[in-house]
Chain A
């Protein structure tokens, strides 16, 4: 084979690669659009009246996740199944965001941390690499960390809205999450950077709980929380 033939063949391979990337980018854009819509919807819970409509908002969000699932289906067809990590960078960001949104919905509904399997199910993908398009563990953890900062914000706003019990429950949840993350030996990568932000979220929520305690506002709250559970 002559040198020019070799390079022509390589060029062909690279060109195909570019086509695949282009296709992926299109689907990812659509996914980003859906993710924004869900986020806008869920942002409503931070506003005063929003607190009463949480279940309704969650239900609506879940309907949107149906769109996500069809978009994920189409993303899966855009590239060979065994080359997930070759194109990982393209959907990494949006996937983390979707994990966060799913985790937020699940938290609002049941005040528990969504499992990796459950997120995969909500998004219509697999939890294990062996079974196809899957949810990478680092992406899952990143999404969970985003949830933590969202909850710190929610704690503040729920006090404003007069819901004094929620910050306490959030505090317990975040503390558990924090000790969970402490178990991990993270490398010096983006996940580690995100994790470093977790302590500020913990601190913020603790401040809120403190403010409530010194004013005796948590008394009725704990009673309220006890009744709810």
Chain B
């Protein structure tokens, strides 16, 4: 018997809103009514997904720009200015992330994780790069997540929030960067540090490369410790990380071996040819 089944009832089914269909079905049958509601549900979900993808793109772009800005730090005499400018930029990125957090209120974050993950990784990269330049150490996940707790007075964004479901947590939104996003962001960071190393040699800065090679080695050791516990993407990055580390270590080697032979003022020239070579090999931004 079918007695145990509840029939889905749609009392306020909007009549007359149907599209042109082949009409061998009596219009508002129970089946059509439920498909109508599925349509709504799927459309809502897809719309949200698209909005998040767009936010993620914006976050990526702004974070990339911040990184480019920070690369100018070593060469510029006005270091402080660049740092504060990068802070402003990162604040803008965080406002975008706040919007993401608002979109995700009452949702399972992992359902939309694929939409926002690229942006978050890029943000981790930017924020950890800035943190490194300031403190010469690695920012922790907890530290990053601490900055991603937003309160209402953060500045009321005119987000066209469709749902009013944020009654549960009226004035607090937060977003957590997952360990995997963090790891992937840090792996990208090492690429930036490699660039920083090479360019600082170009500027005649001989101390930074050694500092960087030590720092990179620590990160590399960390990644080898994780090994294949993490997902596939993490182990994939390990290869690139190894290459970056090799470049930095080679740079340090060259500095050590040839540094004593070549007069200081010519060091930059020796190295700049070396840099070009590396850039060609790399073929990637």
Chain A residues near B (Cβ < 8 Å)? 1-4, 6-8, 10-11, 13-15, 18, 82-86, 88, 106, 109-110, 112-118, 121, 129, 137-138, 141, 172, 175-177, 179-187
- Pairwise interchain contact A137-B141, C-beta atoms closer than 8 A: no
Chain A residues with CB under 8 A of B154 = none
A183 to B39, CA, bound (A): 6
Chain A residues with CB under 8 A of B219 = 3
- Pairwise interchain contact A10-B226, C-beta atoms closer than 8 A: yes
A20 CB to closest chain B CB (Å) equals 13
- Pairwise interchain contact B2-A106, C-beta atoms closer than 8 A: yes
Chain B residues with CB under 8 A of A117 = 6, 8
- Knowing A7-B226, A177-B31, A183-B35, say if A86 contacts B110 (CB, 8 Å): yes
Identify which of B20-28, B200-208, B270-278 touches chain A.
B20-28
- Pairwise interchain contact A115-B179, C-beta atoms closer than 8 A: no
Chain A residues with CB under 8 A of B226 = 7, 10-11, 14
A15 to B230, CA, bound (A): 8
Chain A residues with CB under 8 A of B179 = 10, 13-14
> What is the chain A residue whose CB lies nearest that of B225?
A7
Most chain A C-beta atoms within 10 Å of own C-beta, residue among B7, B110, B113, B180: B110
A185 to B35, CA, bound (A): 11
A109 to B1, CA, bound (A): 7
- Pairwise interchain contact A182-B21, C-beta atoms closer than 8 A: yes
> What is the chain B residue whose CB lies nearest that of A105?
B2
> What is the chain B residue whose CB lies nearest that of A173?
B31
A185 to B43, CA, bound (A): 7
- Knowing A14-B226, A106-B2, say if A4 contacts B221 (CB, 8 Å): yes
- Pairwise interchain contact B25-A112, C-beta atoms closer than 8 A: no
A120 CB to closest chain B CB (Å) equals 11
Q: B69 in the interface, Cβ–Cβ < 8 Å?
A: no
- Pairwise interchain contact B25-A175, C-beta atoms closer than 8 A: yes
Most chain A C-beta atoms within 10 Å of own C-beta, residue among B109, B141, B221, B222: B222
Chain B residues with CB under 8 A of A85 = 108-111, 113
B200 CB to closest chain A CB (Å) equals 21
> What is the chain B residue whose CB lies nearest that of A172?
B24
> What is the chain A residue whose CB lies nearest that of B183?
A10
- Pairwise interchain contact A179-B32, C-beta atoms closer than 8 A: yes
User: Which B210-253 residues sit within 8 Å CB-CB of chain A?
Assistant: 215, 218-219, 221-223, 225-226, 229-230
A205 to B58, CA, bound (A): 49
A181 to B180, CA, bound (A): 37
| Contact sample, A vs B, 24 pairs, CB 8 Å cutoff | A2-B218, A3-B138, A4-B225, A6-B138, A11-B226, A14-B229, A18-B229, A82-B108, A85-B110, A85-B113, A86-B108, A88-B110, A115-B8, A118-B5, A121-B4, A176-B32, A179-B22, A179-B32, A180-B34, A182-B19, A183-B19, A185-B39, A185-B42, A187-B46
